[in-house]
Amino acid sequence: MNADISTLKSLLSKGLYLDNLNEMIEICNRIIAQVAEPLPVYVLLSIFYDIYLSWDERFLPVEEIKQTESLFLPSLKGIITLIETSDDKSKLWNALNDLTKAYVSWVKREM
Amino acid sequence: MNEKEHKIMDVNKQIFNNNPFLFESVMEKAMYNKDYYKYSLLEKIKKEALEIGTGRVLSSGKKSDYYIDGKMVTLDSEGSFLTAKVIFDMIEPIDFDAIGGLTLGADPIVAALALFGYINKRPIQTFIVRKEPKKHGTMKLIEGKLVQGSKVIIVDDVVTTGKSILQAIDVVKQEKCEVVKIIVLVDRQEGAREKFNSLGYEFEPIFTKEDLGITNEC
């Protein structure tokens, strides 16, 4: 699992784009099957998947990608670090709530 | 076709527009001229599918100054016919059992080919490979009839690096199928040919980005 987490972090550092999202979805699927508490990874997976579906088959403006990245990347990176260290559950819970809020605002923007 | 022939074709098109009575007899002759359909398809792609704009990003994350929305042609009545006709002529000499590709690009192409094949008394078995970023694990990824061990042709509207097509190939290979050819409407010439060749696949784009008049990219 550790190798998958570090690959996920490395992919995330490259930003969000379709091929990258696809790879991160595959990795999340692998991690889910290995961890005792899969909920945080499932949230990540669902968000990657929804962004993928929204961007697929489109000629995306750089601006839209930047906006999405600034909305999601800080929370996503924070959550991955918390999953990796798994030391503070309440921090993880708060981070998941922040990510979900970001998702809700992204969905509103997409509509 | 060379530049001179393109110009002749342009003049012919203008004549058609101004003299509708000429259209039928000239069309009859053109029915036997494969280049006419290919040229018309190219013109349609240039006119309706090609988007020029800076600051856009492709699925690979790479920036691009142009985009080809193949569906603007393959989902159009005339475009659908032209695509089917041109591909039908290309595949006529090939020994194959089925044609398919990755959704969404391949969907209208294979549907047009299925209909065109039937009308021309050569029914074509088609299939679609779902583009599922593996969220749900092992689910059915092939729609349509694809018999195990079939010889298949893979089609798509636009190819960039070839990743989508290889995704479709992975799925059909799980069904023990043999890929006998890959055909695309437009090759953006960003490594797909080299990738396919290195894997031993025969690749034939109908057009390349150069045919569309695109020479430089950001």
A15: domain range?
2-110
What pLDDT is recorded for position A88?
82
Mean per-residue pLDDT, B177-192: 96
Question: Would you call B61 and A14 a contact, using CB atoms and an 8 Å cutoff?
Answer: yes
- Cα B63 off chain centre by: 23
pLDDT, tens digit (0-9, with 9 covering 90-100), for A30-59: 999 988 889 999 999 999 999 999 998 888
Domain definitions of chain B by residue range: 87-208
B32 has a pLDDT exceeding 60: no
For residues B104 and B128, give the distance between their C-alpha atoms in angstroms, rounded to a whole number: 9
Q: Where does the pLDDT of residue B9 fall: very low under 50, low under 70, confident under 90, or very high at 90 and above? A: low
Q: For all residues of chain A together, what is the average pLDDT?
A: 92
Report the share of chain B in percent with pLDDT over 70.
80
What pLDDT is recorded for position B218?
43
Nearest CA of chain B to the CA of A13: how many Å?
A: 13
pTM for this prediction: 0.82
Q: For all residues of chain B together, what is the average pLDDT?
A: 88
What pLDDT is recorded for position B35?
87
ipTM of this model?
Answer: 0.82
Task: Give contacts of A59 with chain B, Cβ < 8 Å.
Answer: 51, 53, 56, 64, 67, 69
| B164 vs A87 pLDDT, higher one | B164
Into how many domains does chain A fold?
A: 1
Mean per-residue pLDDT, B121-135: 86
Least confident of A54-63, A66-75, B97-106: A54-63
Residue B20 touches partner A, C-beta closer than 8 Å: no
B135 has a pLDDT exceeding 80: no
Task: Give the sheet arrangement for strand B125-129, strand by strand.
Answer: B142-144, B125-129, B98-102, B151-159, B178-187, B203-208
Q: Where does the pLDDT of residue B17 fall: very low under 50, low under 70, confident under 90, or very high at 90 and above? A: low
For residues B57 and B89, give the distance between their C-alpha atoms in angstroms, rounded to a whole number: 34
Mutate to test the interface with A, among B51, B56, B57 (most CBs of A within 10 A): B57
Of B53, B61, B105, nearest to A15 by CB-CB distance is B61
Task: Give contacts of B133 with chain A, Cβ < 8 Å.
Answer: 21-22, 25-26, 49, 52
Q: Where does the pLDDT of residue B148 fall: very low under 50, low under 70, confident under 90, or very high at 90 and above? A: very high
Pick the CATH number of B87-208 from 3.40.630.30, 3.10.129.10, 3.40.50.2020, 2.30.130.10: 3.40.50.2020
B20 has a pLDDT exceeding 70: no
Tell me how many degrees the CA angle B106-B109-B113 measures, rounded to the nearest 5.
135
